[in-house]
Chains A and B, each alone.
Chain A
Amino acid sequence: MTVQDEKQLTALYQMLGKESSPAKLDSKILAMAEANLSDRSDTQMNITNRPTFGRKWRWPLSGLVTVLLVSVIMVHQYFSPLQKIPPHMESAQPASPGFMQMPALIREQDPVESKRQRFSDVEAEAQSAGDVNFHEDMHANKVEIIQNAAQWRIQLQAIDKLLSDGKTEEARTALTKLVSQSPSVAAHLSDRHLQLLDRPR
């Protein structure tokens, strides 16, 4: 057997009829391929439409987290040692729920700290009381100044009217009286008033 024999055989084999697969079979197989594609796309669609774990449990989980968070905040506030109750409120503290009682309990456990805290509370209260008085004085002064200014304006208007009526002497007397009663009005006098005061009788 030689390579030549093999080539001759190959040539001879190629002379055999070239049978083809039946057309019916071809169309059947091609339809099968198409059906498989559409099945796959349907499956893919089902997979994408199926609710995921996150989507399915979104609301229950968020609700649970909210409840947990609120609970943590409440517990934190309930046991917080930084909770301060002013002494005057402490005396008025009713036998209310543990929410307000708890800090008092903590203070009882540490009397030294409690005393120190009370002292600082009293100090702070005194300070705040002093501040309130100061602010009240300031407010009263302001009101007085405003009232005085209004009075001066009225009196000065009256003096102006006397001057325009030609009653110069009366105007001078009234102005002199006003300046002697309230020296601070001098800062608000016009040139006309000053001339009246300077002019010899």
Chain B
Amino acid sequence: MQFARSTASHNPTPIQVQSDEQLMLAYGQGEIQAFSQLYAKHKDPLWRFFIRRGMPTDCAEELMQEVWQRVIQSAAHYQANARFTTWLYQIARNLLIDKHRLAHRQFKLVTEHFDDEDCSANEPEQLVQSARQAQMLRKCLAKLPALQLDTFLLKEEAGLKLDQIAQVMDSAVEACKSRMRYAVANLIACLGKHGEKS
């Protein structure tokens, strides 16, 4: 769980190690500090979830605000029945779907010419290769079908397991498993294809 580790290091010195659910309950009882802690933990992964879903920045900002507004409004009546992260991404995804439905978003197509300007010629070849691959991955992600992309991002950014992803996406675990398999296959194929080209 890559994200979980990275977020743990993001929060430098938490006064008291509390679960997300405990923090949410504490905020519900009036502790603003708990909300700050919770927000600091989840804001960047959620932001990247929107951005990597191909949302323009202004749209992502709007969605972020809406998601957290719902969290804030629900705080007084919040009950820790489910995992907070699952609930948070459920809200985020529902809002995203509504937004897409309104905008009739079309997935961006991967451009055939990769932008190599970011890669410095002085860096070691392996590092340059990795950076190039990461850049390619970004473009390949944009090519993925929405459901496969959601499954992949929920795993990588939110650190959710397949059963939790299924809960967020309101679908069967097997379906999510299958989507994940297709997402990985498509990304590898995309990366291989572009690797050969470069």
Say which residue of A13, A18, A33 sits within 8 Å of B137 (CB atoms). A13
In the complex, whether B100 has a CB less than 8 A from a CB of chain A is no
In the complex, whether A12 has a CB less than 8 A from a CB of chain B is yes
Consensus secondary structure, chain A interface: helix
CA distance A96 to B9 in the complex (A): 98
Say which residue of A5, A20, A32, A40 sits within 8 Å of B68 (CB atoms). A32
In the complex, whether B48 has a CB less than 8 A from a CB of chain A is yes
B65 & A28 in contact (Cβ 8 Å cutoff) = yes
Q: Which residues 16-50 of A sit at the B interface, judged by CB distance below 8 A? A: 16, 18-22, 25-26, 28-30, 32-34, 36-37, 40-41
Among listed B14-22, B69-77, B86-94, B108-116, interface-contacting one: B69-77
Tell me the smallest distance from the CB of B158 to a CB of chain A, in Å: 13
Contacts of B198 in A (CB 8 A): none
Tell me the smallest distance from the CB of A31 to a CB of chain B, in Å: 10
B43 & A33 in contact (Cβ 8 Å cutoff) = no
Contacts of B39 in A (CB 8 A): 26, 29-30, 33
Consensus secondary structure, chain B interface: helix
User: Binary interface profile of B, 146-162, with partner A (CB < 8 Å = 1, else 0)?
Assistant: 00000000001000000
| B: interface residue count bin | 35 or more
B131 & A41 in contact (Cβ 8 Å cutoff) = no
B43 & A19 in contact (Cβ 8 Å cutoff) = no
Tell me the smallest distance from the CB of B6 to a CB of chain A, in Å: 8
CA distance A103 to B75 in the complex (A): 72
B48 & A1 in contact (Cβ 8 Å cutoff) = no
B184 & A30 in contact (Cβ 8 Å cutoff) = no
Tell me the smallest distance from the CB of B140 to a CB of chain A, in Å: 10
B48 & A18 in contact (Cβ 8 Å cutoff) = yes
CA distance A10 to B64 in the complex (A): 25
Tell me the smallest distance from the CB of A151 to a CB of chain B, in Å: 97
CA distance A10 to B156 in the complex (A): 7
In the complex, whether B165 has a CB less than 8 A from a CB of chain A is no
Tell me the smallest distance from the CB of A37 to a CB of chain B, in Å: 6
Q: List 7 A-B contacts (CB under 8 A).
A: A14-B156, A15-B131, A18-B48, A22-B61, A26-B39, A30-B36, A37-B30
A1 & B65 in contact (Cβ 8 Å cutoff) = no
In the complex, whether B84 has a CB less than 8 A from a CB of chain A is no
Contacts of A30 in B (CB 8 A): 35-36, 39
In the complex, whether A9 has a CB less than 8 A from a CB of chain B is yes
